[in-house]
Amino acid sequence: MSTLVSVRVRVNGEEYELEVEPRLLLVHALRDKLGLTGTHVGCDTSNCGACTVHLNGRAVKSCTVLAVQADGAEITTIEGMAHGGELHPLQEAFWNDHGLQCGYCTPGMIMAAAGLLADNPNPTEEEVRHGLEGNLCRCTGYHNIVRAVLDAAKVKGASIPATASEQEGVTA
């Protein structure tokens, strides 16, 4: 018999209270408990990066985080990147620069790239390649992905979007 643990998280601006097994990975809580299937499970070993999300403003591989470790955290998934019907600049750049083929790695790539741009808003090509090393793409050969990140870097607001808490504190 398993003991369930209560976990409170804020995901894409919405508050949730989940009852989870202590061993449940964050990626499975997001997909199976909250229905946020944009976060992909590629390897369960942290090698591919398809499960990358933002946890308290930092890009992390959600297959390496237990859901209970995220208690009280603010999480942004790929579903939380676009706002008001407008794609996030990284999503737009991936579309415009053909930075995806099958699309399986794309959410994780975009989330990792947003984290990279938060730390380095004006990266070189080499810095982008290094910053995305933990995310694998089996289709594109990376050239268009790197170009998309570099193009998105030219757009204001291309890094990790403000957390919902930060957005609430903004006054017009």
- CATH code at position 38: 3.10.20.30
* Domain end among 80, 97, 124: 80
Assess whether 64 and 138 both reside in one domain. no
What is the per-residue pLDDT for 1? 58
Assess whether 99 and 148 both reside in one domain. yes
Assess whether 31 and 59 both reside in one domain. yes
Assess whether 52 and 71 both reside in one domain. yes
What is the per-residue pLDDT for 44? 76
* Domain end among 80, 98, 116: 80
- CATH code at position 146: 1.10.150.120
Torsion of CA 57, 60, 62, 67, to 10 degrees: -50
Assess whether 30 and 74 both reside in one domain. yes
Tokens 């757009």, residue located: 155
Residues 6 or more apart whose Cβ sits within 8 Å of residue 146? 125, 128, 129, 132
* Count of structural domains, the chain: 2
What is the per-residue pLDDT for 140? 80
What is the per-residue pLDDT for 172? 30
When the pLDDT of each residue in the chain is averaged and rounded to a whole number, the result is 91
What is the per-residue pLDDT for 171? 34
What is the per-residue pLDDT for 32? 97
Assess whether 166 and 93 both reside in one domain. yes
Assess whether 44 and 98 both reside in one domain. no
- Give the distance, in angstroms, between the CA of residue 83 and the centroid of all CA atoms in the same chain: 15
Residues of the chain with pLDDT under 70: 1, 161-172
What is the per-residue pLDDT for 159? 77
Domain residues for the domain of 75 are 5-80
What is the per-residue pLDDT for 163? 54
Taking the CA atoms of 123, 128, 132 and 138 in sequence, report the sign of the dihedral they define.
positive
Assess whether 95 and 164 both reside in one domain. yes
* Domain end among 50, 80, 110: 80
Residue pair 20/33 in contact by the 8 Å Cβ criterion? yes
Assess whether 127 and 75 both reside in one domain. no
Residue pair 68/7 in contact by the 8 Å Cβ criterion? yes
Assess whether 65 and 126 both reside in one domain. no
pTM over 0.75: yes
Assess whether 76 and 103 both reside in one domain. no
Planar angle of CA 148, 34, 114, nearest 5 degrees? 20
Assess whether 59 and 19 both reside in one domain. yes
